[in-house]
């Protein structure tokens, strides 16, 4: 019975407190001044949790900084000096200063945006691909394996080159560029090796 009586008393006091706080004539708590009642130099885990680890203790050293409602005296003096200087300037002079400041800011922003655009365009130029991988692969395949080379004789030339002739093989082996090698139908069927490179068949399409 004593526990129930104490609980009923606490419940009644809490309800009364809630009614007082919810009353329209009660001022907002955010407008009230906070006065520290308990100061301790020991580490407080609850304060650490509420401040996300910024304030480990609530002592005499940190209370004036965290509960201050006015700036430092030095900052107050600087603010007063700025207000005094601003009051001495006429509206026309102030307007001219505002326009000059806006012009400087706009020029600075324009320069920054121009540099950003130039850097982006320079990066695009550096990253731009200067070759076609498909063409490169086709050239390598043609040089190394003779893929896609035509084995038919160009019009207007007579005769045929035999694979067994050492002179023709030496000429083809020593050539620095790609050349069309004419062959007869019989040699094309046998697929002779010219200087270690197999010539493609006549049925393959040429480039």
pLDDT tens per residue across span 24-37: 888 777 777 777 78
Percent of residues, the chain, with pLDDT higher than 90: 22
Phi, psi of 62 (to 5 degrees): -95, -20
Extract the tokens encoding 92: 């026309």
- Both structure tokens of 101: 């400041």
**Model pLDDT, residue 197:** 45
Q: Name the DSSP class of 7.
A: H
Q: Which residue has the higher pLDDT, 178 or 61?
A: 61
Give pLDDT, residue 201: 47
pLDDT per residue as tens digits for the range 64-109: 887 877 888 899 999 999 999 888 888 899 899 999 999 999 999 9
DSSP code, position 31: G
What pLDDT shows up at residue 60? 85
* Interatomic CA distance for residues 168 and 187, integer angstroms: 14
The torsion region of residue 132 among left (phi > 0), alpha (psi -120 to 50) and beta comes to beta
By C-alpha distance, which of 21, 30, 28, 39 is closest to 69?
30
Q: Among 9-13, 49-53, 106-110, 202-206, where is mean pLDDT lowest?
A: 202-206
Give me the pLDDT at residue 153, please: 61
How do residues 179-196 score in pLDDT, each as one tens digit? 444 444 444 444 444 444
Structure-token pair, residue 98: 């505002």
Helices (H), 45-178: 45-50, 63-66, 73-88, 91-127, 133-145, 166-174
Length of the chain: 207
Answer for the pair 58, 39: CB distance below 8 angstroms, yes or no.
Answer: yes
Confidence (pLDDT) at 119: 84
Q: What is the pLDDT of residues 134-148, one digit of tens each?
A: 888 888 888 888 887
Q: Is the pLDDT of residue 5 over 80?
A: yes
Q: Give residue 207's pLDDT band: very low, low, confident or very high (50, 70, 90).
A: low
Please check whether residue 163 is in contact with residue 169, taking contact to mean a CB–CB distance below 8 angstroms.
yes
Q: Model-level pTM?
A: 0.27
Indicate whether 115 pLDDT > 50.
Answer: yes
Q: What is the mean pLDDT of residues 50-56?
A: 87
Q: How confident is the model at residue 6 (pLDDT cuts 50, 70, 90)?
A: very high
């Amino acid at each position: 019975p004593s526990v129930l009586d104490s609980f009923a008393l606490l419940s009644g006091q809490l309800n009364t407190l809630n009614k007082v706080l919810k009353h329209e004539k009660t001022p907002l708590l955010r407008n009230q001044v906070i006065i520290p009642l308990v100061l301790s130099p020991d580490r407080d885990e609850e304060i650490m949790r509420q401040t996300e680890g910024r304030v480990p203790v609530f002592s005499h050293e940190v209370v004036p900084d965290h509960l201050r409602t006015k700036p430092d005296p030095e900052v107050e003096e600087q603010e007063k000096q700025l207000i005094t200087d601003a009051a001495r300037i006429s509206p026309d002079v102030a307007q001219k200063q505002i326009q000059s400041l806006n012009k400087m800011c706009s020029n600075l922003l324009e320069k920054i945006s121009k540099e950003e655009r130039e850097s982006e365009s320079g990066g695009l130029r550096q990253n731009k691909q200067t070759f076609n991988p498909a063409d490169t692969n086709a050239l390598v395949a043609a040089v190394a394996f003779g893929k896609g080379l035509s084995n038919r004789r160009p019009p207007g030339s007579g005769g045929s080159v035999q694979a067994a002739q050492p002179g023709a093989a030496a000429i083809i082996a020593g050539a620095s560029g790609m050349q069309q090698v004419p062959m007869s139908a019989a040699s094309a069927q046998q697929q002779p090796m010219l200087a270690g490179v197999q010539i493609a068949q006549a049925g393959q399409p040429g480039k």
